Amino acid sequence: MSLDLVLITGMSGSGKSVALRALEDAGYYCVDNLPPQLLGAFVSLEQANDASRVAIAMDVRSATALPLVPQQLREMRSRGVQIRPLFLDSTTDTLVRRFSETRRRHPLSSQDTEGHTDPLLRKRALVDAIELERELLADLRDQALVIDSSSIRAAELQAQVKALLSAPASQLTLVFESFAFKRGIPVDADYMFDVRMLPNPHYEPGLRDLTGLDQPVVDFLQAQPGVDEMFRSIEGFLQRWLEPLALDHRSYVTVAIGCTGGQHRSVYLVEKLAAAFGQRWTTLKRHRELSRAGG
């Protein structure tokens, strides 16, 4: 029996514990903060015990040993382990706010910097720690499916993690994500396309409160010059480069489509692209702003 291993890494404060709980609910045996030096031995033990699903979380507290992980993953894949690397990320502003609200200490912050009485100096020290953490985790991020937890609730993060489990681990998975530029650029995008130049249904009174999932909006956009041309342009780019990405052993590619409000044009194009590429590749869809609105 092949072992299915989900390896969760990511920024401190980005929701790794929430993701781990979602996997535990899905029947995975979960281990938090496993030292990288023990990863190979632990996986061998689970294989000997005929385990089928294991999830492991690692973070920057093991910073000195994290460079060992990419080679360990290659060795485990050669032994038939199905590995799903998952990286939780958030914008720096979001992480600063979360640490400030919870009064938690960042694992890379020193006691001296945390003792600053000036709030501006404390914030600067926290930002420095976060940016150092990004550098230390960059190699792991490059190999993983990235989920941006900046603007989603815990329940939506759990839903996205569970959606990951529905995709085969052995082939390229495409993630199409709609978003609003006015709420910030998603940090999990491999490719990002700006479609704000297309006609906006927001200015049609009968369409303003609908979304790109609703047929009247679909009909409106299908009738507009340029919308199909934009779709064909994005489709052509991806058709050209997905096969080389798959041959380069990429497991996940996230394509973000942005418009002003993340409600009409980007949602419509994500749905259309997911339908087109779903005939060849495993595809997942995310509508960031609709998830926020849905509570």
Q: Is 2 within any annotated ligand binding site?
A: no
Report which residue type is found at 76.
M
Torsion of the alpha carbons at 104, 110, 114 and 120, rounded to the nearest 10? -110
Task: In whole angstroms, give the CA distance from residue 72 to residue 102.
Answer: 34
The answer to whether the beta carbons of residues 255 and 273 sit under 8 Å apart is yes
Q: Is 251 within any annotated ligand binding site?
A: no
At 79 the pLDDT is 84
Q: What is the pTM of this model?
A: 0.77
Domain boundaries, the chain: 4-91+130-166, 173-287
Task: In whole angstroms, give the CA distance from residue 79 to residue 69.
Answer: 15
Q: Is 79 within any annotated ligand binding site?
A: no
Q: Is 170 within any annotated ligand binding site?
A: no
Listed as ranges, residues in the chain with pLDDT below 50 are 112-113, 295
Q: Is 60 within any annotated ligand binding site?
A: yes
At 124 the pLDDT is 81
Structure token digits, residue 1 = 């029996």
Residue with tokens 């001296």: 112
Q: Is 50 within any annotated ligand binding site?
A: no
H helices of 49-118, where?
A: 69-78, 92-102, 111-114
At 250 the pLDDT is 77
Q: Is 59 within any annotated ligand binding site?
A: yes
Task: In whole angstroms, give the CA distance from residue 107 to residue 287.
Answer: 32
Q: Is 17 within any annotated ligand binding site?
A: yes
At 53 the pLDDT is 92
Is CATH 3.40.50.300 the classification given to domain 4-91+130-166?
yes
* Rg of the chain taking only CA atoms, in angstroms: 21
Task: In whole angstroms, give the CA distance from residue 91 to residue 98.
Answer: 11
pLDDT one-digit tens code per residue, 264-280: 999 999 999 999 999 88
Task: In whole angstroms, give the CA distance from residue 270 to residue 232.
Answer: 13
